[in-house]
Structure 1
Amino acid sequence: MNFGLDATTAASIWATIALVIFLGIIVYFGVPKLITKMLDDRIKDIEAELAEAERLRADAKALLAEYEAKRENAEKEAEDIVASAREEAFRLTAEAKTSLETLVARRTRAVEDKIAQAEAQAVAEVRSRSADIAVEAARVLLQQQMAEKGDALVEQSIKDVAARLN
């Protein structure tokens, strides 16, 4: 059955007929629909994965923004803590300085009071000692005068008393 064709052409015709029959069988059994359905399913899967990836990207972006805000808040809070600690240190330094000045003034007054008290005590001791010396000098003087003029003074005193009584 060669129909006057050479072998190569006949083989090409039979190969073409076999291909057409094969394609007919594939179409009859619905292979293109299966392939189309499989491709459609794969497209849906890829679209779902892309949607999930986009959702995850949006979530990651939101999470990043949230952490950036938290970081900024933490930095601001740290700055506030440092500033308040600095203010507290200045306040405590000022209080300590004031307290020290008060303490120095109080101790200075106490020392001045002690000095004044010691001065007053020294003056009182000098006066007391001076009075004691004056009394002793008067006693010695009176003893000497009494030894020398004692009898004359007693007689004069008796005359004075008698004159006043009359």
Structure 2
Amino acid sequence: MRKLMTVALIASGSISASPALAAPGPFFSLSNTDFIVVLAFLLFIAILIYFKVPALLAGMLDKRAEGIRSELDEARAIREEAQTLLASYERKQQEVKAQSQRIVDHAKEEARIAGDAAKKDIEASIARRLAGAEDQIASARAAAVKEVRDRAVVVAVAAAREVIAKQMTEEEANRLIDDSISTVEAKLH
């Protein structure tokens, strides 16, 4: 295309020729190279017009322009769809973020409730253990007191036996035995 334009500019005389390139003689002569070039150029243009090359070029350019236009329209549609999807994903991201925050808050609340329940359970367990320990201490104290009393009774009985044995005579022993027998008879009947 550029070559064609160059030839057209040369033929029309827009590009000035130097004197060495100028053809000798009259312009409308077949021996004048400038005239031959102009004729060849016009013949070339006529052939192009005859074979409808400009219309074909224009059609190809129009077709290419239409293709570019449809690609641009498609690109706009894809862009709008992408923007819609982006907005949708951003909205979903916000929803997921809010939902995750609700889940975290709920988990914290459940953990606090579970912690309070565990604290109460521990306090109750400690209270039960303290009560059990106090019961064991009281039981051990009662057992120790009973053992001390039993031991004191045994010691007192043994001491009393010795004292009574040393002070008692045979007559008093027989009289105590008779009194005991009569008391038992009276209580059994």
TM over 0.5: yes
Query: 2:136 corresponds to which residue?
Result: 114
Query: 2:7 corresponds to which residue?
Result: none
1:136 counterpart letter in structure 2: A
Pairs aligned (count):
151
Question: Which string of whole-angstrom CA distances, capped at 9 and with x for unpartnered residues, describes residues 132-158 of structure 1?
Answer: 23322332233233228638x84xx79
Question: Which string of whole-angstrom CA distances, capped at 9 and with x for unpartnered residues, describes residues 83-140 of structure 1?
Answer: 2332233223222211211111111001100111111112212222232233223322
Could you tell me how far apart the structure 2 residues matched to 1:9 and 1:99 are? 122
Query: 2:113 corresponds to which residue?
Result: 91
Whether 1:39 aligns to 2:61 is yes
Structure 1 range deviating more: 58-67 or 109-118 = 58-67
Could you tell me how far apart the structure 2 residues matched to 1:37 and 1:70 are? 48
Structure 1's unaligned 5+ residue stretches are 1-5, 162-166
Whether 1:129 aligns to 2:151 is yes
Structure 1 range deviating more: 49-58 or 66-75 = 66-75
Structure 1 residue matching 2:168: 3-state secondary structure: helix
Q: How does 1:1-150 map to 2 (within 5 A)?
A: 7=25, 10=28, 19-147=41-169, 150=172
Query: What's the TM-score once normalised by structure 1's chain length?
Result: 0.71
Q: Higher RCO, 1 or 2 (CA under 8 Å, sep at least 6)?
A: 2
Could you tell me how far apart the structure 1 residues matched to 2:41 and 2:112 are? 97
**Between the two proteins, what is the percent identity of the paired residues?**
38
Structure 2's unaligned 5+ residue stretches are 1-23, 183-189
